[in-house]
Structure 1
Amino acid sequence: MRDPGVPPPLPRLTGAAAALERRQVPLYVGAIVVGAVVGLLAPAAGPGLSTAVNPVLGALLFVTFLQVPARELVRSLRAGRFLAAVVLVNFVAVPLLVAALAAALPADDTVRAGVLLVLLAPCVDYVVAFSRLAGAAADRLLAATPLLLIVQMLLLPVYLPLLGGPDIRGDASGPLAEAFLVLIVVPLVLAWVVQAWAARSRPGRVAAAVAGASMVPLMVATLLVVVASQVPALGGDPAVLLAVPAYVVFLLVMPFLGLGVARLLRLDVPERRAVVFSGATRNSLVVLPLALALPGGVAAVVVTQTLVEVLAMVAYVRLVPRLVRDVPDRPAADDAPTP
């Protein structure tokens, strides 16, 4: 007998939705290319497109949250080893790597400020969607997002001046709190409402199934809008290219640091993949308002990271499952209590 607290399974994807699911990676690459072309050919559209970033990202996260039953989310909060791994990776391993990268950065305050600002802030939004596509424990990562946002709100003003970046104490709480409300709380509550509706009526199940089938189109829209809106900001400041090597090295090194911590804490394969994604993805869209408030071209340096990262995430979706496979030392049981 089905547990009344768990919504019925959604109908399987068929037809066009299933075809989109099978071809999602080429579609994401195409969205990035189209977004870059639009940004280059119509730079005046950048400010208007920027206003669409949060709505499409919020819609994407709503659909992502819809795939995780509320009970599973609460259970994931009890996964102590996973939460410990995410915290260790993002607030110990990442700052150590960023400190090493900062020592190799050029003597340019704008580049240093942008690189430190974005690399020290772990992602709390589309990382859930990308990790889910790679077979990671997206529910556990979703449960960890409030903790990640709160801790970075507390530590970002400490780490930045410590590593030679700008002092943003007093300026960070507003944009980060707004992002938490708009990109996490609202989509999550709406997803829970739809889940409750789906558990009680057929129209609700149909609505949930339709929303779930929109995952790939929404990801395409998100990538296209983000890239198209931010590309115009890059043309006037060639200094942004100086940040690219740091971003590339970060994305190459972090999967191995994340996997090392996850294996040390004996996480299972989906959790290991989630830790890898959490360590590699950064909060560029959330810290962008902070970057815009700083002098110089700091925002352009942050935007450059967005472009590098979305390209890398398309590759991660394919490569992380190959890097993180079932291994002999995989634990038989998780530390979360079973119902």
Structure 2
Amino acid sequence: MHLIEKLYTLIIFLAVIIGIGMGQVEIIRTNAESFIVPLLVVMLYITFLQIPLEEIRKAFKNIKFTYTSVTINFVWSPILAWLLALIFLSDHPALYIGFIMLMVTPCTDWYLIFTGIAKGNVALSTAILPLNLILQVTLLPVYLLIFGGTTGVIEFAFLVESILVVLFIPLVLALLTKVFLKHKQQLKDGLISNLSVLPIIFLSLAIMAMFASQGQLLLDNVDLMWQITIPILLFFIVNFFVGQKVGKIMRFSIPDRTSLSLTTLARNSPIALAIAMTAFPDQPLIALTLVIGPLLELPILAMITQILIFISKNKNP
């Protein structure tokens, strides 16, 4: 794992601070927004290029783990996120939307690191990764319309246009690149290896541009960010117990149960951020919610990892 990937949270935080600082210069503030979408398209193109879509079939070799994980991630977790948003964030539509966007997108990178640390089944967790990515890209617009359609924040036509630009264009370009490199495996492997850290860099630049253009508005509403903390904590606490309980009911081994917990806990803020910054350019609080998420998530996952290590040492499968 590259150093830049280990410092992901710090880099994102610094991008926010630098962006707000740059936004104090008028010429930067007025032009920064035009850089957001191109940076996000490049970020997602590189991200999709690294995902081995042909590996999806491997996820189905362990049918029981696959349908259990998919059910928790794409049926239970969206319902839980919606209930928490209704209870804690119904008076703040932007926070409501941002919270749901964060919680319905399972992680496609970080959870593997924590799974390895917690002695989980990393191979099993890796196999489910491409399926999680495809499902979240496909279902996120559906969740937004189902759970956020009554907030007054979402405009259907603009959402569809944004999804097309920021998700499907880079996805198609990545697929075409894979086809072009199909019989050039050495070149393909070298290209993917060299590009692996670039998504974080491009995401950080996009965040800097967003905060440069909208920074003052965010500073004026920073007190609202405390309201997002409680539902985020509750989401992780509830889903931790759900994952462990379901793992026991399904009679998973301790390593497989550990993989299930982390696969269904970790969230994928970069994908959600990319859509938020494109689909809701006039709602910076949505994007800010998705930036706050990882700042809370990573310490929480570190603590949960230690709990899972304790469980594996003190309980039998």
| Secondary structure of 2:109 counterpart | helix
The alpha carbon displacement at 1:282 in A equals 7.5
Q: Distance between the aligned counterparts of 2:43 and 2:316, measured in 1?
A: 40
Q: Distance between the aligned counterparts of 1:102 and 1:130, measured in 2?
A: 27
Opposite residue 46 of structure 1, the aligned amino acid is A
Structure 2 partner of 1:322: 306
Structure 2 partner of 1:305: 289
Q: Distance between the aligned counterparts of 1:262 and 1:196, measured in 2?
A: 41
8 Å contact kept, 1:251–1:280: no
8 Å contact kept, 2:269–2:294: no
- Mapped pair 1:56 → 2:43: yes
The alpha carbon displacement at 1:188 in A equals 5.4
The alpha carbon displacement at 1:256 in A equals 1.9
Q: Deviations over 1:295-333 (max 9, x none)?
A: xx5x21112113212433554564453344464465xxx
Structure 2 partner of 1:174: 161
Opposite residue 273 of structure 1, the aligned amino acid is L
Indicate which of 87, 91, 96 corresponds to 2:74. 87
Structure 2 partner of 1:46: 32
Structure 1 partner of 2:259: 270
The alpha carbon displacement at 1:283 in A equals 1.8
- Mapped pair 1:208 → 2:189: yes
Opposite residue 77 of structure 2, the aligned amino acid is N
Structure 2 partner of 1:289: 278
Q: Distance between the aligned counterparts of 1:188 and 1:173, measured in 2?
A: 21
TM-score by length of 1: 0.69
Q: 1:279 to 1:287 in 2, by over 3 A?
A: closer
Q: Distance between the aligned counterparts of 1:282 and 1:247, measured in 2?
A: 19
Structure 1 partner of 2:118: none
Identity %: 7
Q: Distance between the aligned counterparts of 1:187 and 1:261, measured in 2?
A: 36
Q: 1:59 to 1:313 in 2, by over 3 A?
A: farther
Structure 1 partner of 2:109: 129
Structure 2 partner of 1:226: 206
Q: Distance between the aligned counterparts of 1:48 and 1:324, measured in 2?
A: 44
Write out aligned runs for 1:117-196 (5 A). Answer: 117-122=97-102, 127-135=107-115, 137-162=125-150, 164-166=151-153, 168-187=155-174, 190=177, 194=181
Q: Distance between the aligned counterparts of 1:322 and 1:186, measured in 2?
A: 40
Q: 1:253 to 1:270 in 2, by over 3 A?
A: same
Q: 1:193 to 1:276 in 2, by over 3 A?
A: farther
The alpha carbon displacement at 1:210 in A equals 5.4
Structure 2 partner of 1:32: 12
| Secondary structure of 1:127 counterpart | coil
8 Å contact kept, 1:39–1:227: yes
Query: Quick check: 235-244 or 268-277, which moved more?
Result: 235-244
8 Å contact kept, 2:106–2:268: no
Structure 2 partner of 1:97: 84
Indicate which of 73, 78, 94 corresponds to 1:114. 94
Q: 1:237 to 1:80 in 2, by over 3 A?
A: closer
What RMSD, in angstroms, separates the aligned Cα atoms of the two structures?
A: 3.5
Q: Deviations over 1:28-72 (max 9, x none)?
A: 345235423431343316335413132124313423x1xx472x3
Q: Deviations over 1:254-298 (max 9, x none)?
A: 222222332233162223211101488872321333323xxxx5x
Indicate which of 226, 244, 256 corresponds to 2:225. 244
Q: Distance between the aligned counterparts of 1:166 and 1:52, measured in 2?
A: 24
Structure 1 partner of 2:236: 255
Structure with more helix by fraction: 2
Q: Deviations over 1:100-147 (max 9, x none)?
A: 1125x4xxxxxx221122222357889312333333624414303333
Q: 1:154 to 1:37 in 2, by over 3 A?
A: closer
8 Å contact kept, 1:85–1:275: yes
Opposite residue 58 of structure 1, the aligned amino acid is Y
Q: 1:227 to 1:310 in 2, by over 3 A?
A: farther
Opposite residue 285 of structure 2, the aligned amino acid is V
Q: 1:214 to 1:156 in 2, by over 3 A?
A: closer
Query: Quick check: 187-196 or 235-244, which moved more?
Result: 187-196
> Which runs of 5 or more structure 2 residues have no equivalent in the other structure?
116-121
The alpha carbon displacement at 1:96 in A equals 1.0
Opposite residue 52 of structure 1, the aligned amino acid is L
Q: Distance between the aligned counterparts of 1:237 and 1:31, measured in 2?
A: 19
